[in-house]
Amino acid sequence: MDINKVLISESDNAILYLVPEHSLIWIEFKDTDLLDEENYKKASLGVLDLVKQKGIKKMLFNTLKLKAVLSVDLQRWIAENVNKDLLQLLDKVAVVEPQNPITHLSLQQYIEESLRYGTRAKEAIFQDLEHALKWLLTD
């Protein structure tokens, strides 16, 4: 599947792409077991701003390689300060599950925490990138 990704930013933990022709924001987490919480908060607020500015309707959250664990405090902060609004703006959100079992549990808690505030977005969880993209790009 050939997708034209535009690099928006890159940090120690993730790469952020925009796919304008599909109104898609793509967050690709790197193979890291350390997560700077303040940088993660700042980046998450930046994603929310970008979605608002560009009218983005779809998000790919690829955590396949991620090994870091999100603290409960960080999960709550993101849910309250970012995802509460973000999940009202998006139509579809695809999450590619991490391979690391502990990160997987942390991600499940993170999703549950975020969904407490409700969502209008359709959400789906995948084990691989190919299926996640196919689902996101099908209207």
Tens of pLDDT, residues 6-20: 999 998 888 999 999
87 and 121 in contact (C-beta within 8 Å)?
A: yes
pLDDT single digits (tens) 62-77: 988 888 888 888 888 9
- Supply the pLDDT for residue 117: 67
Domains of the chain: 6-137 (3.30.750)
For every residue of the chain, which 3-state class applies, written as one string? CCCCCEEEEECCCEEEEEEHHHCEEEEEECCCCCCCHHHHHHHHHHHHHHHHHHCCCEEEEECCCCCCCCCHHHHHHHHHHHHHHHHHHCCEEEEECCCCHHHHHHHHHHHHHHHCCCCCCEEEEECCHHHHHHHHHCC
pLDDT single digits (tens) 32-58: 877 788 888 898 999 999 999 999 999
pTM of the model: 0.86
